[in-house]
Amino acid sequence: MSKEHIARFGLSAMGFVYVLVGILTAMTALNWGGQKTGTKGAIAFLSDQPFGKILLATMAIGLFSYAFWRMYQTFYDTRDLGTDFKALFTRGGYFTGGLFYGALGFIAVKLLLGGGYDRQQEVIMNALNSKYGSVFAVIFGSVLAGKAIFEIYFVISNQFKKNVQSSEMPPKAKTTLLKFGSIGHSARAVVFGVMSFLTIRTGLTFRNKKMSTLEDAFQFLNNEFGDVVLGVVALGFLCFGLFMFVKARYLYINIR
């Protein structure tokens, strides 16, 4: 499998995860069942379905593919971004994305082998409730805040539009990609911002500290702003998943 195929398969896997998160959360907002869930919950949901092991194995390969591609972009600078502050900020976003989705791939493997992901949560909880727990909470929260800022930057930067306009896709597909991408990245910015706020607030004010998850962010939005806002954000996640599918199909993949 070539690097281009690895990248496209990884983009598709990421898209599938976000579509699933968006659908399950939107169903909750509409009182149609479903569940407020994050990416880990979406992976766990797959394991309970018919042919769950096949789905998990496919998803694990896809997530590892995406993680590989993000790391490759980070260290080989496939987009010729350079090394100025803006470039390093963007490449840092690629790096953290690679770490996160690589970890998600390991969760899929653990579920495939009959385990869970409690151990990873336990490590984070121990760090947050240690002597320097408040410091760790601020660090984790700041990383999440940085991710939210990166998502906003990705929406408003001209580079986002340039990447789409320079790709070899039909005009309608370009228009759709720009709309889905703007909505999807905006929704991610909101959720990462909420996660940052909750993590820092918990670390500074509560004895039992925890790192906020997507589920916590969805619950906060639902409690504070109601089902409509939760539904809008869930729709944003669905759009982001569709955005990744369109990217996987049409976007130019620069291989060096």
pLDDT in tens, 99-147: 888 888 888 888 888 766 555 556 566 666 666 677 878 888 888 898 8
| pLDDT band with cut points at 50, 70 and 90 for residue 210 | low
Q: Residue 47 has what pLDDT?
A: 78
> How far is the C-alpha of 246 from the C-alpha of 12, rounded, in Å?
9
Q: Is the pLDDT of residue 2 over 70?
A: yes
Question: Residue 26 in contact with residue 241, Cβ under 8 Å?
Answer: no
Taking the C-alpha atoms of residue 216 and residue 223, their distance in angstroms, rounded to an integer, is 10
The encoded tokens of residue 134 equal 């408040």
Does 235 score more than 90 pLDDT?
Answer: yes
Query: In which domain, by residue range, is 10 found?
Result: 3-250
Whether 256 is covered by a domain: the verdict is no
Chain centre distance of CA 26: 17
Within a domain: 21? yes
Mean pLDDT of 202-210: 68
**Dist. CA 156–CA 152, nearest whole Å:** 6
Instruction: Decide if 183 is inside a domain.
Output: yes
Cα–Cα–Cα angle for 140, 146, 149, nearest 5°?
A: 145
223: in domain: yes
Query: For residue 214, what pLDDT is reported?
Result: 82
Indicate whether 49 belongs to any domain.
yes
How many separate domains does the chain show? Answer: 1
Give the pLDDT score at 159. Answer: 63
What pLDDT score does 208 carry? 58
Q: What is the pLDDT of residue 205?
A: 76
User: What average pLDDT does the chain have?
Assistant: 82
Inter-residue contact 238 to 26 (CB < 8 Å): yes
**Is the pLDDT assigned to residue 73 strictly greater than 80?**
yes
**Better-predicted residue by pLDDT, 86 or 99:** 99
pLDDT in tens, 143-163: 889 889 988 888 887 666 766
Is 255 domain-assigned? no
State the average pLDDT over residues 86-98: 85
Q: What is the pLDDT of residue 66?
A: 92
Residue 9 lies in a domain: yes
- What pTM, to 2 d.p., does this model score? 0.84
pLDDT, residue 156, reads 84
